[in-house]
Amino acid sequence: MSDSVVLALDVGGTKLAVGLVDDTGRVLASRRAATPAASPERALTALIDDLIGDAVTVDAVGIGCGGPMSWPAGRVSPVNILAWRDFPLRDMLAERFSGRPVRLLNDAICLAIAEHWQGAGRGVRDLLGMVVSTGVGGGLVLGDRVVAGRTGNAGHIGHVVVDPEGPVCGCGGRGCLEAIARGPALVAWARERGWAGADGKELAESARVGDGVARAAFARAGRAVAVAVAGAATTLDLSLVVIGGGIAAAGDVLFAPLREELHARARLDFVRDLRVVPASLGEQAGLIGAAALVLAGERYWPVD
């Protein structure tokens, strides 16, 4: 193993992942498990125990977790992890790994960081990274530096309103992008129209083989993402949007209607050449981005 080994955590509403990452951003080993409804902190501790055993020396800890959160204190209240409200996740790790840096940021911000550092966003100064999955999140890198915002929650594009009369959202609002484009919302929308499958993966498969309702569900999500992206790009003058997550993994059935709608919406010269691409680091992106919080200098950790 290399000189500096970071313990990286990627904590989401559907899955927990932990990994050991070296100082070049390579994931040396990792463990994954479903996020249990009760006491997810116990499952997380068990995964860490299994990963590091007694032999590994951890130099620092980087954590990506679903939002919202208080930051940099790292108390988390993820919309999709109901067991945690104002849960002291950073402190839990800081106690175990005392004396070492322990940093926590939003998981979608970590994806944006990972893609900027090692993936599809390398060499791009201004980008938005998005996750379209069980939830919809985002993170910004502007001028080659992560933008955390006043409370660490900048980039929450999932809760930008794309349809003022749209469905009620988990955040308490209405018509948010997440309420329309999150995986469970696509599945529910398709089932109401006669599609008989159970989850987002099956829905993507149905869309790929030409099922009309499934294709329409992804097209609807893609158009909603485009509306939010057009707004963000116009506000922030971006060059690139990188989209990861399970729903984005469906590929063209999402990206084709997304790009078409974006082209129709983003008409000013400086947004017309905006590129929207799939994330390139796959399921490791969350771990790589979390590790970058402690590995890649001030550009990915704007406080200290």
By C-beta, is 159 or 215 nearer to Zn ion? Answer: 159
Q: How far is the CB of 232 from Zn ion (least distance, A)?
A: 15
> Can you give the C-alpha Rg of the chain in angstroms?
19
Residue 178 near residue 159 (C-beta atoms within 8 A): yes
Determine, following the binding rule CB under 5 A, whether residue 90 of this chain makes contact with Zn ion. Answer: no
By C-beta, is 171 or 236 nearer to Zn ion? Answer: 171
One of 176, 214, 258, 293 touching Zn ion (CB under 5 A): 176
Site string for Zn ion, 133-172 (x = CB under 5 A): --------------------------x---------x-x-
Q: How far is the CB of 167 from Zn ion (least distance, A)?
A: 10
Q: How far is the CB of 224 from Zn ion (least distance, A)?
A: 12
By C-beta, is 118 or 133 nearer to Zn ion? Answer: 133
Q: How far is the CB of 176 from Zn ion (least distance, A)?
A: 3
Residues in the chain: 304
By C-beta, is 67 or 286 nearer to Zn ion? Answer: 67
Q: How far is the CB of 45 from Zn ion (least distance, A)?
A: 31
60-65/102-106 β-pairing = parallel
Give the number of residues in contact with Zn ion, rule: CB under 5 A.
5
Determine, following the binding rule CB under 5 A, whether residue 108 of this chain makes contact with Zn ion. Answer: no
Q: How far is the CB of 136 from Zn ion (least distance, A)?
A: 9
By C-beta, is 88 or 173 nearer to Zn ion? Answer: 173
Q: How far is the CB of 161 from Zn ion (least distance, A)?
A: 8
By C-beta, is 213 or 225 nearer to Zn ion? Answer: 225
- What residues contact 139, with CB distance under 8 A and at least 6 apart? 106, 108, 109, 110, 111, 112, 113, 128, 129, 146, 147, 154, 155
Determine, following the binding rule CB under 5 A, whether residue 173 of this chain makes contact with Zn ion. Answer: yes
By C-beta, is 166 or 278 nearer to Zn ion? Answer: 166
Q: How far is the CB of 151 from Zn ion (least distance, A)?
A: 16
Q: Residue 41 carries which side chain, given as an amino acid letter?
A: E
By C-beta, is 169 or 279 nearer to Zn ion? Answer: 169
- Footprint on residues 29-68 left by Zn ion (CB under 5 A): none
User: Footprint of Zn ion on this chain (CB under 5 A)?
Assistant: 159, 169, 171, 173, 176
